[in-house]
Amino acid sequence: MTDGSARELVVVAFAVPVITMAVLLVSVLAVLLFAGSGLEGLATAVGTIWLAIHQVPVTISGVSVGVLPLLPTLLVAVGTGRMAASASGPERSASELVPVFCSALGGPLLMTALSLAVVMDGMSVQPVQSPPALLAFGYTLGIHAAAAGAWIAWRRRDDLYERFAITASVRRGGRAGGVAVTALLTCATVLVIARLLLRWSLVGDLIAGGNDFDGYLGLTVLSILYLPNVVVASAAVLVGSDAHVGGTTVDLTAVHAGPVPPLPVLGALPDTSAGLPGIVGFLVPVLIALAVALRCRNIDPLANVRSVTVAAAVAASVMVILCAMAGGELGEFGGAGVTLPTAGVFTLGWIAVVGLVVALIHAALPTTRAARETAGVIVDDDLDDDGYGYDDDYLTDEYDEFDADDWDNEYDDADDTDADYADDEYFDDENSDDVDHHADAHDDHSDEDGANRSPSGGRVRYVDRDHEDLQYDDSTMTDDMLNPSDEVSFAGEVADPTGPRVGRDEADRPLGRH
C-alpha cells in the first residue's frame, strides 16, 4: 500500500469522528458557559452525546431515554458514507475496498470505546450511567457499516451488477423502492410542516415554556433534531399504521389523546380524529404505489412482477429500519414509536398489490402483446451462439450429405471486398431464362428458411431476382474459398467468360433446408 493510500485510509477512519467530536465539544462548552456551570462535566457530556448520536439509550438520574434524535445520526451516517465512497473509486481493485470499509468502521468504534471509558469514569461525579458496552459497539458498528457499505456499493454498482449478474428488472425494482420511500417521507414532511403551521399558537406556547433565551433556544434546537423522528412516524401513519407518543395514539381514522412531553415539534399531533380528510390520506400510498408500478412496467410479465416485488421489499425494509430507529423508551411517559409489523406489512402490501394489478393490466393490453410478440423474434436469450438462432444439430444433419469439395465446385471463389453485384454486370440476354429459373428455386428455399448457410457456417442471404443487387455474408468462408480474381454469379455459374461454366445439374443443386 502506498503512502497516499495509507493517508487516505486515515482520513476515512477519523475525519467524521474528529469533526463530530469537535462540534460536540464546542456545543457543550457553549451550553455550560451560558448556564454558568463548571467544566468538570465537559468530557462526560461529550461522551454521552456521542453515544446518543449512535442511538445508544442514555440513562440520567435513573431515567432511561431511548427515543433519541435521528437528525445527528443521519448526518454522521451520510458523512461516513461519503468519505468511504470518495476512497472507493474505479482505480481501486475489489480487494482494496476491504481496507476502506474497515477504516470507515475503525475510527467510530475507537471513539465509542473512548466515550464509554469517559462515561464510566464520570459516573462517580455525574448522575449518568454507562450503557452496556456490547450494545454501544453494536449500534455504532451497525450505523457506520450500513452507511459505508451502501455508499461503496453505489459507487461501484456497475462492478456489482456484473459480478453478481443482477438483472435490469432487479435494478429497476431497487431504484423504484428507494423512490417510493423518498416520496413517502417527502409527503410526511409536508404534512408535519403543514400541521405545525396550522397549530403555530400551540407551538409558540410550548417554546415559551423555556422561560428565557437559553430555554427558547434549547427547545427549538431539540425540536429540529427530533423532526426526522416525527416525519418517520407520520410516514408510517400514512401507510395505515399507528404512532404513539406517551399516552397519545394516532392513525388516519382515530386519535386517542393523552399526556405527551412538552416538546414544540409535538404540537403537530392532532387532538381529535381527522374524519374524512384522514381517509383521504390513504390516497398518498396509493398514488406512490401507482407511480412505482408504472415505473416497473415491462413487456415481459415475469420481469414486471420481479421489479414490483423487489420495490415492495426494499421500501418495506427501509421503513421498518427507520421506524425502529425513530422509537424507544421515553422515561416517565412510557414510550414513543410506531407499530413495526403493521408499518412493514402495509408498506409492502400497498406497493405489491397495486404493482401486481398494474402489471396484469399492462400485460393484457393489445399493444403490450404485440410488442412482446415482436420482441420475441429477436430476443437474444433465444439465439444460439452464432447469433442467428440456428441449432448446431440442424446444421450438422442438414449438410452431412454434401461434401465440402462439392461446395467448393459450386462456389469456387468469392470476392471478399465486393458485397454488391449488379445483375446486368454478369448476365446477358441469352442467359436470362436460366437466371429466372435458378432465382425462383432460390426464392422457394428462402421463403422456407429465410436464409441459407454454407457448410463452413457462413450465412448466404438471397434477394428477389428483380432487385438490382445481390447481398451475401461471406465473413465465415474459409480462405481457400475466396479468390478476388474470380466472381460468382447468382445462379452459381462462374461469371468469367473465359473460365469454365458450371453445368445446369450442378447449378441446380438445392441450397438450404428442404
pLDDT, tens only, 379-436 = 434 433 333 333 444 333 444 444 444 434 444 444 444 444 444 443 344 444 443 4
pLDDT for position 166: 92
CA distances from 131 to 145, 321, 499 (A): 21, 22, 99
The residue length of the chain stands at 514
Q: Distance (Å, rounded) from C-alpha 95 to C-alpha 81?
A: 18
Backbone φ and ψ for 460, nearest 5 degrees, come out as -110, 120
Greatest Cα pair distance, the chain, in angstroms, is 117
Question: Picking from 74-88, 147-161, 472-486, which range would have the lowest pLDDT averaged per residue?
Answer: 472-486
Q: Is 60 helix (H, G, I), strand (E, B) or coil?
A: strand
Domain locations in the chain as residue ranges: 1-164, 167-381, 392-507
pLDDT for position 332: 80
pTM of this structure: 0.71
What mean pLDDT value characterizes the chain? Answer: 77
pLDDT for position 385: 39
**Can you tell me which residue has the cell 453485384?**
421
Q: Distance (Å, rounded) from C-alpha 330 to C-alpha 164?
A: 44
pLDDT for position 6: 85
421 φψ region: left (φ > 0), alpha (ψ -120 to 50), beta (else): beta
Digit-coded pLDDT (tens) for 338-378: 999 999 999 999 999 999 999 999 999 998 888 888 876 44
Q: Is 150 helix (H, G, I), strand (E, B) or coil?
A: helix
196 has pLDDT over 70: yes
pLDDT for position 94: 85
CB 215 within 8 A of CB 263: no
Q: Distance (Å, rounded) from C-alpha 307 to C-alpha 268?
A: 36
Higher pLDDT, 5 or 160: 160
pLDDT for position 330: 84
Higher pLDDT, 276 or 219: 219
- What is the pLDDT averaged over residues 62-74? 90
Digit-coded pLDDT (tens) for 302-321: 999 999 999 999 999 999 99
Backbone φ and ψ for 416, nearest 5 degrees, come out as -75, -20
pLDDT for position 106: 94
